Amino acid sequence: MVGIGFIGPWVVPMSREQYPDVPFEWDYVRTPHLGDKPLFAADSGWGKVVSPYTKHKDAAWEFVRFMCADAKNCKEWNIGTGTIPALKAVAEDPTLLDSMDWIGPCLEVIPYGRYVGDLQDRDYVWYEAVYTHILAALQGTETVEEASSKMEEECNTMIDEKLGE
């Protein structure tokens, strides 16, 4: 039996932990790409924020820096959560694969990620426009060209409408 799902790399350690007796080989692979380079849209990730209304803003920002600016702490966060490193020092750490043996395909394409920018309505973009047309292309009801064109048109229309509000 083979199962495939489009989901973040954290699904591998989570699945291994939750289903230790399932005789599957949990792995994470890169999908094919169009063009010469495996360019992809890099979305927000696990951003850290501090409310401007907190009574302990300085301490909160100190904690964020502790978690996010120190490579050792970041590496432990990535290992513990099964997430793709945000710091180059962690992504380039040759020992990372010792703890995250499935993350290699992600590390290979990190340089090709492009931040998508301010989407105004992130959920609409990913769950309505992109998901709908990728699924249609995978199911053969739209060509790749049609799906790409419709995604671009729908996302641009949403952005134009939101900017006009």
pLDDT tens figures, 38-65:
988 777 666 777 888 999 999 999 998 8
For the full predicted model, state whether its pTM sits above 0.85.
no
Position 97 confidence tier, pLDDT thresholds 50, 70, 90: very high
What pLDDT is stored for residue 46 in this prediction?
A: 67
Question: Whole-angstrom Cα distance, residue 163 to residue 119?
Answer: 10
Question: Helices 144-164 & 131-139, crossing angle to 10 degrees?
Answer: 170
> What average pLDDT does range 103-118 have in this prediction?
86
DSSP states of 66-133: HHHT-HHHHHHHHHHHT---SSHHHHT-TTHHHH-TT-HHHHHHGGGEEE----S-HHIIIIIIIHHH
What pLDDT is stored for residue 131 in this prediction?
A: 93
Whether the Cβ atoms of residue 46 and residue 81 lie closer than 8 Å to each other: yes
In the predicted model, is pLDDT for residue 163 greater than 70? yes
Position 133 confidence tier, pLDDT thresholds 50, 70, 90: very high
Position 4 confidence tier, pLDDT thresholds 50, 70, 90: low
Alpha-carbon dihedral angle through residues 18, 24, 30, 31, given to the nearest 10 degrees: -110
Q: Which of 79-83, 89-93, 133-137 shows the lowest per-residue confidence on average (mean pLDDT)?
A: 79-83
Whether the Cβ atoms of residue 131 and residue 21 lie closer than 8 Å to each other: no
Position 153 confidence tier, pLDDT thresholds 50, 70, 90: very high
What pLDDT is stored for residue 119 in this prediction?
A: 76
> What average pLDDT does range 2-20 have in this prediction?
78
Element (H, E) at 11: helix 11-18
